Structure 1
């Protein structure tokens, strides 16, 4: 279907410093890209886009029905998977051991803290969408959570940008940028329009989520963090529309598999080819949902594997811990003791036995805050992302 293209508008530019290249220093005008208002636009999928959309809705519903209800730990697992992959698109990759330390409250790298902040932002958006309309405040609150770990970015968190930004090109000016979003004075009205579109209930669900994401990225309403909040918006819309109630579709892993293709489809949206982007997101949802079902099966088999490795006595602290590791794959000592309900010495011995058996791994040996993790669960995060990436790249052949 036809979709309005972005219009271009020339604006004066005054460089504020003498840094950068000659092109930066001599730049005196820029061309901004202004998205259309979409709040009232009708959109229906047709042809190949419609077939992909229908298959995607079925795949997501199957994931939700098969594993969302019967395997509660999958919900947290997929939340983490989606947030970690979304962070990797922004070149933020701490590795799962460092990420595990951050989850357990241990000393962690800035990248690990940032990935954990992305998890919190996604949770906030999805939870809010599950209980009411998605508002501008929903997005601002999530952005504040996302940027809270860094002093400099935190200062601009939770508020719409008041400066011109751009994507690609120079660090100093929009010279050579791949996309120059609308000027800051247009952002509040464009976001009001987007929020109205997001809360409609008369649009194909995945198409609505895809188009809202593309519009959000085109507006680029924040000084930083737009990609992660924009991708979280997809999950929030799926929750608001009732397609998901427990699980989060790990779409970001499909985008991570070929970021140049992802960005090219966003450019196509700005040129009016909305169906192309909708089909891209629909196929990503199919790949992600099918791979997530494989991960769910792999996770469900882990407790039996752990029992075979550790051979715990019935009703022992070891057995109790094994029974909770899918829910809590990352533990500090206080958390472990709450689970076992035993004395400190008994809990330490149980953790030591499970570590020796290979069920647990010590992430941080600090005496003040020792942290353990079930490496099989955390490794499955990488396995899921790799599986989605493989499925995605196979479609390109």
Structure 2
């Protein structure tokens, strides 16, 4: 549906140039969203797919590993959209105070993403509503270290920004002037918590994402935080039991369509086309997450059986292996602390796991060795490798 009024423009001066900054109309759209039979069907399919994803929390005995790894995989994917080169392995090594294989700033940005997501989820569980306060606090965590620490972490911008182009005059899009940011964000907060609105949560999250990206309230980190808000809203509403749904890969693979649809919302108010795209993203991403989770569960089960057939040493080897079902990368010190086994026993067990091709040593060093649950990492890296081919 095309809408005549999607927002207003205000002339503002940026770097010596006069530009038209866009101020979006507050949500919900007017006229309201046209839930056609096709859009309703897309919504129902997305809801079913999310339900299947939720079932993993009760069906999988190794759910904690899935959650641990999925949050970190999303951090890598979302940060890659912003230009970092960090891998999942780099992040996991850095969390052990190891040395990653890319610039430390890249890993710091990815690590900040994990921390921001966890911070938001913890605060919501403590009873803090999804509010401007929480959004600013999450932004502060997101940018507290690394390249963004000089971009006013936790504060809405007080200067004009722009998207695309080499300067304001040839920008693809210019968000609201700084003096209108608080007004726009305040109205967005009211929309999020408006009890009179009867919109389905998935539809609401899709609308909020676009509005946040359009306002672009911070100097840096808007893309990452805008993607985080989707998962946070779904978890806050209860539609998602755990933070297992992330759309960064879909958005990146289909980024040209993503940007086109956001532009169409701003120019013509075609929210329905965006919603169709968003719901497809939720459906396909949820299904892929379920497939990946089942692959991981099968791999862990198969590896346990292999270890169980190794004879007298199987009991201690299995105990060591279980450390890798909670954490994908570990060193002998961590395993000794977790199992209570002696360093010699742990090292012998790690050698056996290497010979079985279940774990691999990833540093190549004689000392301070770090081991990776190689087979599980291969499953998780499938999407990350697909991303690099695009």
Query: TM class by shorter-chain length?
Result: 0.7 to 0.9
Query: Aligned partners of 1:112 and 1:380: how far apart in 2?
Result: 21
Q: Point out where structure 2 has 5 or more consecutive residues left out of the alignment.
A: none
Shift of 1:363: 3.0
Q: Which moves more between the two structures, 302-311 or 282-291?
A: 302-311
Pairing partner for 2:168 from 156, 168, 174: 174
Match in the other structure for 2:27: 38
Query: 1:105 aligned to 2:106?
Result: no
Query: Aligned partners of 2:144 and 2:86: how far apart in 1?
Result: 17
- The Cα RMSD (Å) is 2.6
What SS is found at the alignment partner of 2:85?
Answer: coil
Match in the other structure for 1:376: 375
Query: 1:120 aligned to 2:115?
Result: yes
Query: 1:75 aligned to 2:76?
Result: no
Q: In 2 relative to 1, CA 181–282 (structure 1 residues): closer, same or farther, beyond 3 Å?
A: same
Query: Aligned partners of 1:385 and 1:250: how far apart in 2?
Result: 13
What SS is found at the alignment partner of 1:364?
Answer: coil
Shift of 1:137: 2.0
Match in the other structure for 1:263: 259
Match in the other structure for 2:43: 53
> Which aligned segments of 4 or more residues in structure 1 are displaced greater than 6 angstroms?
386-390
Q: Is the 8 A contact 2:14 2:160 kept in 1?
A: no
Match in the other structure for 2:222: 226
Query: Aligned partners of 2:168 and 2:367: how far apart in 1?
Result: 48
TM-score by length of 2: 0.88
Residues 308-364 of structure 1: CA deviation (Å, up to 9, x unaligned):
555554663320122342321121333211222111222222223223332222233
Q: Which moves more between the two structures, 257-266 or 122-131?
A: 122-131
What SS is found at the alignment partner of 1:29?
Answer: strand
Q: Which moves more between the two structures, 179-188 or 119-128?
A: 119-128
Query: Aligned partners of 2:208 and 2:105: how far apart in 1?
Result: 30
Match in the other structure for 1:204: 200
Query: Aligned partners of 1:309 and 1:156: how far apart in 2?
Result: 52
Query: Aligned partners of 1:199 and 1:83: how far apart in 2?
Result: 27
Query: Aligned partners of 1:379 and 1:113: how far apart in 2?
Result: 23
Count of residue correspondences: 376
Query: Aligned partners of 2:186 and 2:338: how far apart in 1?
Result: 46
Shift of 1:34: 0.8
Query: 1:183 aligned to 2:177?
Result: yes
Q: Which moves more between the two structures, 177-186 or 313-322?
A: 313-322
Pairing partner for 2:291 from 283, 289, 294: 294
Residues 151-196 of structure 1: CA deviation (Å, up to 9, x unaligned):
65255111111111111111xx313111111111111121121122
Query: Aligned partners of 1:30 and 1:121: how far apart in 2?
Result: 33
Shift of 1:368: 7.5
Query: 1:306 aligned to 2:303?
Result: yes
Q: Is the 8 A contact 1:6 1:34 kept in 2?
A: yes
Match in the other structure for 1:350: 349
Query: Aligned partners of 1:34 and 1:323: how far apart in 2?
Result: 53
Shift of 1:82: 2.2
Match in the other structure for 2:137: 141
Q: Is the 8 A contact 2:181 2:217 kept in 1?
A: yes
Query: Aligned partners of 1:379 and 1:110: how far apart in 2?
Result: 25
Query: 1:192 aligned to 2:186?
Result: yes
Pairing partner for 2:18 from 29, 33, 39: 29
Match in the other structure for 1:23: none
Q: Point out where structure 1 has 5 or more consecutive residues left out of the alignment.
A: 16-27
Shift of 1:39: 6.4
TM-score by length of 1: 0.86
Q: In 2 relative to 1, CA 309–236 (structure 1 residues): closer, same or farther, beyond 3 Å?
A: same
Match in the other structure for 1:276: 273
Shift of 1:40: 9.0
Q: Is the 8 A contact 2:72 2:88 kept in 1?
A: no
Q: Which moves more between the two structures, 84-93 or 149-158?
A: 149-158
Query: Aligned partners of 2:388 and 2:285: how far apart in 1?
Result: 9
Query: Aligned partners of 1:234 and 1:34: how far apart in 2?
Result: 22
Match in the other structure for 1:156: 152
Residues 97-153 of structure 1: CA deviation (Å, up to 9, x unaligned):
322212323123321222122122122223334454201122122212211231652
What SS is found at the alignment partner of 2:170?
Answer: coil
